Amino acid sequence: MKIPTRATIAAALLASISAIVLAENPAGPNSYRGDPERGAKIAAWGTSNGVASCSSCHGYDGVGNGTSVVPRLAGQTADYLTQQLDKFAAHRRHNVYMTNFAQRLSPQERADVSAYYAALRSSFPPPNDQFAPELFERGRQLATVGDDKLTVPSCNNCHGPQGIGESPDIPALKGQYSNYIVYRLQQLAAGHNTADLMFPISASLTPEDMNAVAVYFASLGISSPKPSNVQQIANSPSH
């Protein structure tokens, strides 16, 4: 085994300190301007710092997959995606893989890969329509008006009309995989963080209600002929 020299030790210390500094970015989306061309390369190939290609799970088109743990990224805003990477890196969101990758990406790289995925206008796969119409209706009710008995406000209050999201904190739900939405709601309900706005809301939902909102939002992707932008939302018929 090679005995580390002082220079090697110093370099290692510097690297680990840098990693810690790079990992912590508590103030919201970092202020680096993302370059989608550089981001495309990271998405396709990963980085030499041990970051796997995002596309291997999330797809080069950002469509993700229906395994329930790999979300669609395409169409989320760059600020939202960057903030999520910052949160993963700082352990404010919990996923072993994402924390590892996010910590190994520099803040610039996080901004770049986020800018790449945010710019994509990928199509939506058809939703899994093996559900009862009543479930969809219940989801629509929770999404648009909430439920007084559960003290659950409507999802759209924060997630926007048709779930288009509100950057940088609030994701678009429109066209997200239904089983991913359920997975996240379960995670948030189990988080027990009273300062997290989603905790009391998710904790008030039954498993059936979680399925209901998930099924509703998943179906909104394909209901627009083209992927969304704000203008189209404004012009489309009310939900």
Partner 1 sequence: MATVMKEVDIVFVGFGFGSSMVAKELVGTGLKMVGLERGFPRYTSPDFQSPEIHDELRFAVRKAMMQDNVREAITLRHSPDQSALPVRRWGAFLPGTGLGGSGVHWNGQTFRFQEWDFVWKSRMQDRYGKKFLDSLDLTIQDWGVTYQELEPFFDRFEYLAGTSGKAGNINGKIEPGGNPFEAARSREYPTPPLKEQYNGALFRKAATDLGYHPYPQPASNLSVAYTNPDGLKLNACVYCGFCERFACEHYAKASPQTIALPILLRSPNFELRTQCQVTQVNRDSSGKKATGVTYYDAAGREVFQPASLVVLSMFPFNNVRMLLLSKIGDPYDPQTGKGAVGKNYTYQTVSDVWSYFDQDVNINPFMGSGAIGTMIDDFGGDNFDHGPYSFIGGSYLLAAYTGGRPIETHPVPPGTPKWGKGWKDAVIKHYNHTGHILVHGSSMPTRRNYLDLDPTYRDAWGLPLLRMTFDFPENDLRMNRFCSDRGLEIARAMPGSKGVLATPRQRPFDVTQYQSTHNSGGAIMGTDPSTSVVNKYLQSWDVPNLFVLGASAFPHNGTYNYTGTLMALNLHTADVIRNRYLKSPGPLV
Could you say which residues in the range 52-111 bind partner 1, by CB under 8 A?
Answer: none
DSSP string, 17-47: HHHHHHH--TTSS--PPP-HHHHHHHHHH--
Among 19, 52, 135, 197, binds partner 1 (CB under 8 A): 197
Stretch that binds partner 1, among 83-91, 95-103, 113-121, 195-203 (CB under 8 A): 195-203
90: Cβ contacts below 8 Å, ≥ 6 apart: 23, 24, 25, 26
8-state DSSP, 147 = B
Cβ-based nearer residue to partner 1, 125 or 153? 153
In whole angstroms, what is the distance from residue 84 CA to residue 158 CA?
17
Cβ-based nearer residue to partner 1, 4 or 28? 28
Cβ-based nearer residue to partner 1, 2 or 192? 192
Q: Is 5 in the site for partner 1 (CB under 8 A)?
A: no
Cβ-based nearer residue to partner 1, 129 or 166? 166
* Residues β-bridged to residue 166: 170
Residue type, 207: P
Evaluate the CA torsion angle 60, 113, 75, 130 in order and state its sign: positive
Shortest Å distance, C-beta 144 to partner 1 = 7
String of contacts with partner 1 for each residue 126-165, x by CB under 8 A: ------------------xxxxx--xxxx-xxx--x----
40: Cβ contacts below 8 Å, ≥ 6 apart: 116
Binding site for partner 1 (CB under 8 A): 144-148, 151-154, 156-158, 161, 194-195, 197, 199-201, 204
